[in-house]
Structure 1
Amino acid sequence: MENNTKWRGRFLTIAIGQAISLIGSSAVQFALIWWLAEQTASPMIMGVAGLAAYLPMAFLSPFAGVAADKYSRKIICITADLSMGLAALAAAFLLNAITFPIWAVLVILFVRGIGGTFHQPAIQSIIPQLVPAEELVRVNGWMQLMTAGSFILGPVIGAALYAALPMSLVLLTDVIGAIFASAALAAVKIPRLENHERHKVGFFAHFKEGIQVYREDKKLSTLIIAEVLCMLFFAPLSTFYPLMTSDYFDLSAMYGSIVEVAFAAGMMIAAVLFGSVLKIKNKIRTSYLGLWGIGVATTICGLMPATFVGWIIFAGTCAAMGAFGNVHGIPLTAYIQETVAPEKMGRAFSLIGQVTAFTMPIGLLISSPVAEKMGVHMWFLISGLGILLILVILIGIGGLLKKKRSPLT
């Protein structure tokens, strides 16, 4: 990797292409999910939609991680982007001729899930190939800033397109974004990995090497355990956001998009701070702080009354939730990029993706019937209290282990 200013131009080219793609994807995702919420008003259907989106990551992540470490990460990202774009294009042609059914939404979400599964570890592993190690926290802050900006524009665009156009035309937004992202990646030269033995090693040997990364770093493995347990409660909430606005607060798609914008604005504020003024000494401890913040914010969301004032507080708390999500994620990503060998990084990220992806279907299997019976707001409350309880228990276990290791006095 070159330690000069050239890396900035290369990184920004890729990041801008990814941001444009995210805007299209976010707009389409919002339109699809809001359509489901309006058509069904059912947490069970929303749960099935979440399963369709996340099951590919749960089962295909090991293959995606090995692929990212054995083959060209650039080609994998371009193939994944174009595959999602082509799927949206095919769906747009089909949906122009037939009535838009629920199963079509689930198929689109499933295909997008497959593309995202292979794209995520590859793009995360490309970043440290371009960026100096001392700049990784700052660069991840910039990346999340662009992501948050995309998430702000996406729901706004999605709500406007959903109101003005048939779904077949809305889907074309995803196609445009995929073309931009692929063109940006194609224009940038990515340095080759120096490990020439990686093509000769079999899949299972590669996979075991990825697991060994976490066995060798106890601090990282403990943090990942905390994240996975917390995500069992938190992950399903992403499918319930539209229902909180449409069903619990009884408001329109415009208000739903405002909630999405508030969440993204919180992400953006945290990303700006990480990308500019914040200097993080202990990345692991900072990441834990983010989990604490998520737990508190989620608990507050679940306590809101079904009034317009309650919705305003809910939207503001969602902004805090987005900010604390980046307080957790940015230092964690930078820590992995700094400490894991480049030829193992794809597997390291894919393993995180896999275990956290399993939290979505498991969490949805638990949360969907609870939300169906007790109301979607109650799952927000249960989630927040569950996250806080998990962190308290982990602190207690950590304290006991330290006492056992200390010498007797």
Structure 2
Amino acid sequence: MDLQPSQTTFKHYLLFLSGQFVSMLGSNVAQFVIVWWVTLETKSAVYLSIASFAAFTPFVALTPFTGVFADRWNRKILIGVTDLLQALIALIIITLFWLNAISIWTLIVLIAIRGVFQAFQAPAVSTLIPLMVPSDKLSRINGLNFLLSGVVGFIGPVTAAMMLEIWAIHEILWLDVATFLIATVPLIIIKIPIVKTGIDGGKTSFTRDFIDGLAFIKNARGFIALLMTAMMINFLAMPLDVLFPYYIKFIHQGGASELAFIMATSQVGMLLGGLLMSVIRGFRRKMFTAMCLLYVFFVAYALIALSPKGFFWFIASVMFAAHFCLPIINVSFMTVVQMIVPKHLYGRVNSVMMTLCNLASPLGMIISGPLAEFTGVVNLFLGCSVLGAFFLTLSLTFTDIRYIEETRAVN
């Protein structure tokens, strides 16, 4: 039997989450600054695609295996070590900017290395929620996570844009290092429960653990259909995610302040969506709700593509609506998964799940730039929105995705 979450573990998780919030803020500022530097330095949609591909591919390639490690290794040590290694990469980037020795390809390599460390850390962090949070609080905690992401997404771009007016890039990136170090303090204080693996707590092989995760995904009704749908949606959303700075700068003739304004407004939407999900117990038909709101997202995608030039308020309003839906979609999805996956399998199942969901994302990232050069950014956005709604309809009509909530975990 698994250890059941208690009020004590719940309080420890909230303390851990406070440190992660600080760390996410520093990382968000650093990401904005680096992406804007790549946009201005290269003036190329292709380089934005390559940089995104380099950051994300290690995560997709490694998480099926790192999730098994998250179930087998000491989670506190794993999270702490990967945090410090990411801070080290940030220090190297700072030094190169300070010496004026940075190049786009050097930056891409360092971003990829940091992605490797994130691939080890993310599954370990994700396992803490079902491990430390009581089941009746899962929806609210998932909502709280998106609420905090919205706060970070709102504060981060605005802070970064203001800092760019005052300081050099290498000076701004010190914030990333400082927040990484601050996040280690709660991690040192808290206690993370240890879940026994294998029969009667005995050791099992890495291969056996990996196969167990795949077996659960294969046998849970509707799970594979859900993952395939998520994979296609993530693939089609990549052009908007990767090329948005380019779209604002070169299609709408905007600057860092306009980009920051739109990103901050969109994150207010995510903040409010996260706030909603943190105060209610979730929707009764979680997957149906999520799928309906995905249609809203793709309509918003099309409206962004069709926005008149320079209508930044319109773009911001549509982004607000789209991002309001995202926490509801993701919280509904994550809560269903956390309820049906046994705790002792969660790390490996979650990692395989994340990999399959994001399997097409690196391809979407790397081809977004060339496709934009060939078809135009506006046509690319519009085409992806139409295809997204089409594949969503096929999934709802012809797969078992609507039955996934009938599965129940056996811990």
Answering whether residue 249 of structure 2 is matched by residue 246 of structure 1, we say yes
Which residue of the partner structure matches residue 364 of structure 1? Answer: 365
In 2, are the aligned partners of 1:11 and 1:130 still within 8 Å (CA)?
Answer: yes
Answering whether residue 216 of structure 2 is matched by residue 213 of structure 1, we say yes
Which residue of the partner structure matches residue 407 of structure 1? Answer: none
Offset of 1:151 from its aligned partner? 1.3
Answering whether residue 300 of structure 2 is matched by residue 292 of structure 1, we say no
State the alpha-carbon separation in 1 of the partners of residues 329 and 133 from structure 2.
Answer: 21
Q: In the alignment, residue 119 of structure 2 is paired with which amino acid?
A: T
Which residue of the partner structure matches residue 79 of structure 2? Answer: 77
Offset of 1:315 from its aligned partner? 1.3
In 2, are the aligned partners of 1:70 and 1:199 still within 8 Å (CA)?
Answer: no
State the alpha-carbon separation in 1 of the partners of residues 301 and 139 from structure 2.
Answer: 26
State the alpha-carbon separation in 1 of the partners of residues 231 and 247 from structure 2.
Answer: 24
Which residue of the partner structure matches residue 390 of structure 2? Answer: 389
State the alpha-carbon separation in 2 of the partners of residues 389 and 196 from structure 1.
Answer: 43
Structure 1 residues 275-331: Cα deviation after superposition (integer angstroms, max 9, x where no partner)? 11353212222222232222111111111122x22x221111111221222122111
What's the % identity of the aligned pairs? Answer: 25
Which residue of the partner structure matches residue 343 of structure 1? Answer: 344
Normalization by structure 2: what TM-score? 0.92
Q: In the alignment, residue 397 of structure 2 is paired with which amino acid?
A: G
State the alpha-carbon separation in 2 of the partners of residues 109 and 252 from structure 1.
Answer: 24
SS of the residue corresponding to residue 85 of structure 1 reads helix
Selected match of 1:267 from 244, 252, 270: 270
SS of the residue corresponding to residue 47 of structure 1 reads helix
Which residue of the partner structure matches residue 131 of structure 1? Answer: 133
Offset of 1:204 from its aligned partner? 2.4
Range with bigger deviation, 255-264 or 364-373: 364-373
Matched residues, number: 399
Normalization by structure 1: what TM-score? 0.92
Which residue of the partner structure matches residue 406 of structure 1? Answer: none
Answering whether residue 116 of structure 2 is matched by residue 121 of structure 1, we say no
Offset of 1:365 from its aligned partner? 3.6
State the alpha-carbon separation in 1 of the partners of residues 205 and 5 from structure 2.
Answer: 33
Q: Which runs of 5+ in 1 are unaligned?
A: 403-409
Which residue of the partner structure matches residue 63 of structure 2? Answer: 61
State the alpha-carbon separation in 2 of the partners of residues 348 and 3 from structure 1.
Answer: 19
Offset of 1:155 from its aligned partner? 1.1
Which residue of the partner structure matches residue 22 of structure 2? Answer: 20
State the alpha-carbon separation in 1 of the partners of residues 202 and 26 from structure 2.
Answer: 35
Offset of 1:163 from its aligned partner? 2.7
Offset of 1:142 from its aligned partner? 0.8
State the alpha-carbon separation in 2 of the partners of residues 200 and 4 from structure 1.
Answer: 26
Range with bigger deviation, 382-391 or 370-379: 370-379
RMSD: 2.0
In 2, are the aligned partners of 1:25 and 1:174 still within 8 Å (CA)?
Answer: yes
In 2, are the aligned partners of 1:73 and 1:122 still within 8 Å (CA)?
Answer: yes
State the alpha-carbon separation in 1 of the partners of residues 361 and 5 from structure 2.
Answer: 39
Structure 1 residues 95-149: Cα deviation after superposition (integer angstroms, max 9, x where no partner)? 3223332123212321231222122111111111111011100111111111111
State the alpha-carbon separation in 1 of the partners of residues 276 and 117 from structure 2.
Answer: 31
Q: Which runs of 5+ in 2 are unaligned?
A: 404-411
Which residue of the partner structure matches residue 258 of structure 2? Answer: 255
Structure 1 residues 31-77: Cα deviation after superposition (integer angstroms, max 9, x where no partner)? 00011111222111111011111110121112211111111122221
Offset of 1:196 from its aligned partner? 5.5
Which residue of the partner structure matches residue 317 of structure 2? Answer: 316
SS of the residue corresponding to residue 322 of structure 2 reads helix
State the alpha-carbon separation in 1 of the partners of residues 202 and 380 from structure 2.
Answer: 46
After TM superposition, the structure 1 = structure 2 runs for residues 44-193 of structure 1, keeping only pairs within 5 Å, are 44-193=46-195
Offset of 1:201 from its aligned partner? 2.4
In 1, are the aligned partners of 2:229 and 2:391 still within 8 Å (CA)?
Answer: yes
